[in-house]
């Protein structure tokens, strides 16, 4: 009783959500420090991290904020001008009328989701009477709100972003954030796509048959979830292997329902768009699945280990190049580590520092499948003032409000090209 009273007085949920976020940002900060230290030591050893040759882009664009109507942001209050709203509503209307899009899902990347280090799952397993599903859901919700308040629209589809899109779309398109754990390893992404399939299945059943047409945007490793989704929707050999893995290890509560969901969704068309997604899992395109990759890039070469390049975001999106095979984190639980080891033979190496070192010096820029748009977002800094933090190493620009109208225009133009 005394313990319960103590926690209720200080709000257990609020305290733990704050502690969770603090520990999360500390881990991310230490990881970045370790990366910069590795770059420095590599240079001391004579490993220059020379610029990789960049193949001629299929499409090359430059983002000019001056080309678009004004959208102002003051103390996290977003105020689009009347001209901005008119242009945005015109594009969304075209997405709805010409392309029959009626659902828009926004999928975040690594570390900004509901449980990146399996903290809540561990608490639930070891202290089930204290951390009930209801209590943990409150903590997750508070954590996500506080995360939105801290990083807002940098490398994050914040709630205000989704709300603005919903305001533009009205009743024509349902807009929603899709949250997954955001752990940096295979199991987290596989469970993420399982949840996504079930969510899409729920949404599709609310609409008349054959009218369901989702547009799904995935930032960073959120795009890996889209890659796996494309495999399941194409009934590929990889998807059959993954389904067997999911069944054997009980990764979904009701496997029969999961199979029904996949079978139902395969009859629909999907438009999948990735932003800065590292080259990892394979995508599939066919007459029902279209894939677009948008990547922040601005130089004829790319040096992923160049300290001066990193500090000033010189070449573009650095995490897009860093998040390759070998860059996964060690999962926090023994069960997840065991599952990840088994998935390495299916989805490719997860945590492998030697492979990561090799991949960082032999960069593959593009995915094998999909249309690529190499965009200079002009978010590089100017010496002597570094901007790696504000730009999140060139990885944060995709989800900013100032680029939203550009993203919508680019996606709509891509869909207009048959």
| Average of per-residue pLDDT across 337-357 | 95
pLDDT, position 300: 76
Of 38 and 242, the one with more pLDDT: 242
Per DSSP, helices labelled H in 55-158 are 82-97, 119-126, 133-151
How do residues 37-57 score in pLDDT, each as one tens digit? Answer: 665 565 555 554 444 544 545
Q: What's the rounded Cα separation, in Å, for the pair 198 and 259?
A: 10
By CB atoms closer than 10 A (0-12, 13-18, 19+), residue 308 is exposed
Cis amide prior to 236 (ω within 30 degrees) = no
371-376 sheet: strands from edge to edge: 59-62, 371-376, 289-296, 270-275, 214-219, 103-107, 174-178
Highest mean pLDDT, choosing among 18-22, 121-125, 210-214, 277-281: 277-281
HSE-up (13 A, CA, CB side) for residue 307: 14
Contact 275, 226 (CB under 8 A): no
């Amino acid at each position: 009783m005394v313990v319960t009273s103590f926690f209720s007085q200080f709000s257990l949920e609020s305290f733990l959500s704050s502690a969770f976020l603090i520990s999360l940002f500390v881990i991310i900060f230490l990881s970045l420090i370790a990366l910069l230290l590795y770059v420095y030591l590599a240079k001391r050893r004579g490993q220059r991290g020379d610029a990789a040759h960049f193949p001629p882009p299929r499409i090359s664009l430059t983002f000019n904020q001056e080309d678009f109507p004004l959208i102002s942001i003051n103390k996290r209050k977003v105020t689009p001008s009347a001209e901005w709203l008119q242009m945005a509503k015109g594009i969304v209307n075209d997405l709805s009328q010409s392309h029959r899009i009626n659902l828009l899902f926004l999928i975040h990347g690594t570390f900004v989701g509901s449980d990146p280090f399996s903290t809540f799952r561990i608490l639930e397993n070891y202290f089930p009477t204290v951390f009930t599903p209801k209590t943990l859901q409150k903590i997750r919700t508070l954590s996500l709100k506080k995360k939105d308040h801290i990083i807002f629209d940098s490398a994050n589809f914040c709630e205000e972003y989704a709300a603005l899109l919903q305001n533009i779309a009205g009743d024509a398109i349902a807009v929603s954030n899709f949250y997954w754990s955001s752990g940096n390893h295979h199991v987290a992404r596989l469970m993420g796509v399982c949840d996504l399939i079930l969510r899409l299945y729920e949404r599709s059943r609310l609409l008349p048959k054959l009218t369901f047409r989702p547009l799904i945007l995935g930032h960073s490793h959120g795009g890996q979830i889209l890659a796996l989704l494309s495999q399941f929707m194409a009934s590929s050999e990889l998807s059959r292997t993954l389904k067997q893995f999911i069944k054997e290890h009980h990764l979904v509560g009701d496997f029969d329902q999961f199979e029904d969901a996949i079978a139902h969704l395969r009859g629909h068309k999907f438009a999948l768009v990735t932003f800065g997604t590292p080259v990892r899992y394979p995508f599939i395109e066919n007459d029902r699945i279209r894939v677009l990759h948008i990547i922040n890039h601005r130089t004829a070469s790319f040096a992923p280990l160049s300290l001066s390049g990193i500090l000033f975001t010189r070449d573009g999106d650095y995490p897009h190049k860093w998040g390759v095979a070998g860059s996964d984190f060690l999962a926090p639980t023994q069960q997840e580590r065991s599952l990840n080891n088994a998935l390495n033979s299916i989805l490719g190496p997860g945590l492998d520092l030697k492979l990561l070192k090799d991949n960082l010096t032999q960069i593959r820029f593009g995915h094998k499948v999909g249309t690529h748009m190499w965009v200079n977002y002009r978010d590089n800094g100017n010496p002597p003032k570094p901007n790696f933090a504000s730009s999140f190493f060139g990885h944060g620009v995709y989800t900013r409000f100032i680029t939203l109208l550009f993203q919508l225009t680019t996606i709509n133009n891509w869909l207009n090209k048959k």
